[in-house]
Amino acid sequence: MATSAGAGDPVRTLELLWEVRQHSGLGRKPELSLDQVVSAAIELADAEGLDSLSMRRVAERLGVSTMSLYRYVPGKTEMFDIMVDRVSAEVCYHHEDGDGGRDGWRSRLEQVVRANRALFERHPWLLTLFPRRPPLGPGVIAKYSAELHAIDGIGLTDVEMDSVLTLVLEYARGATANLIEWKKFSARAEQSDDQWWATLAPHLDRLLDQERYALAVRVGSAATTHYNGVHDAEHAFEFGLQRVIDGIESFVDDKCLPAEDDLLTDALPEGKRPSRR
């Protein structure tokens, strides 16, 4: 089971994300730190998935009682938020120091997708846990900032930059989810997952109208059969990635062509003006 995070007092969560609270010096010293708690939770989620992540399990892993955790974290959803922010801090891009120049945005966007894919592969639970609103901690903001810089100065308005980035990140999420699924499929070959299709196929053949759904059966089995090798799944990932970036490129190009429209720019409201370096 996986929830969207973001419940509870947002300001309290924000303070936790930025670690504003200091130990006052008075009173009993804490035996743990927020970082230890969150790290243990992340390790557990990495190893066994979000479903197996309970406060009890985290406490056991740390050798403390369940209720001790609530001294560090207001609740489970807030812990999720902090987990997301922490792992978001893992991604780092090297494209800020002007590699590629103004036309390098294609490869920079590719890097963004690949970095996100790697993040999802390291922490698959991120795929099932999507916060309604992103936790605005240092990790998330650094990531968002770096990713914006990948497409800054190519002639998009602020709102357009956000839309493009959202589109690209959404592709990274979806495509990685599929990739992981296919990898699981091919990994445990003699496991129950290989037999899944094998045992279901004959039943399906009996149940559904073969003529009516001829196309679906052909394409579906083609996708299932040919993706057994990881190579094809990789190919599908790259395929979609190029499609998405192509679509963005055609938009960027179309914007640059009618240059006489620049005169209209000053008539636009603040946030919609194109930002060029």
Burial zone of 100 (CB within 10 Å; 0-12 exposed, 13-18 middle, 19+ buried): exposed
Q: How many CA within 13 A on the CB side of residue 147?
A: 26
Q: Find the binder of a second copy among 32, 89, 230, 236 (CB under 8 A).
A: 236
- Residue 231 binding partner per list DNA, a second copy, none, with a CB distance cut-off of 5 to 8 Å that depends on partner kind: none
Smallest separation (angstroms) from DNA to the CB of 136: 21
Is 192 a binder of DNA (CB under 7 A)? no
Instruction: Provide the sign of the torsion angle of the four alpha carbons 100, 101, 106, 109, taken in this order.
Output: positive
Q: Shortest CA distance to 126 belongs to which of 149, 143, 110?
A: 143
Is 25 a binder of DNA (CB under 7 A)? yes
Size of the site for a second copy (CB under 8 A): 78
- By CB under 7 A, the residues from 66 to 85 that bind DNA are 66-68, 70-72, 75-77
Q: State the binding string over 64-103 for a second copy (x if CB under 8 A, else -).
A: ----------------------------------------
Identify which of residues 55 and 245 has a Cβ nearer to a second copy in the complex: 245
Is 53 a binder of DNA (CB under 7 A)? yes
- Report the distance separating Cα 179 and Cα 171, nearest Å: 12
Rg (CA), the chain: 23
- Residue 161 binding partner per list DNA, a second copy, none, with a CB distance cut-off of 5 to 8 Å that depends on partner kind: a second copy
Is 54 a binder of DNA (CB under 7 A)? yes
Token pair, residue 275, equals 């930002």
CB 43 within 8 A of CB 35: no
If one counts every other C-beta atom within 10 angstroms of the C-beta of residue 91, the result is: 19
- Residue 166 binding partner per list a second copy, DNA, none, with a CB distance cut-off of 5 to 8 Å that depends on partner kind: a second copy
Smallest separation (angstroms) from DNA to the CB of 29: 4
DSSP-assigned letter for residue 258: -
Which residue has 């639970």 as its token pair? 125
Cα separation values, 175 from 8, 19, 117, 124, 127, Å: 32, 34, 8, 13, 11
Is 21 a binder of a second copy (CB under 8 A)? no
- By CB under 8 A, the residues from 163 to 192 that bind a second copy are 163-164, 166-167, 170-171, 173-175, 177-178, 181
Identify which of residues 22 and 269 has a Cβ nearer to DNA in the complex: 22
Q: Find the binder of a second copy among 60, 162, 194, 234 (CB under 8 A).
A: 162
Is 23 a binder of DNA (CB under 7 A)? yes
DSSP-assigned letter for residue 166: H
- Report the distance separating Cα 44 and Cα 40, nearest Å: 6
Query: Which residues are at the interface with DNA (CB under 7 A)?
Result: 23-32, 52-57, 64-68, 70-72, 75-77
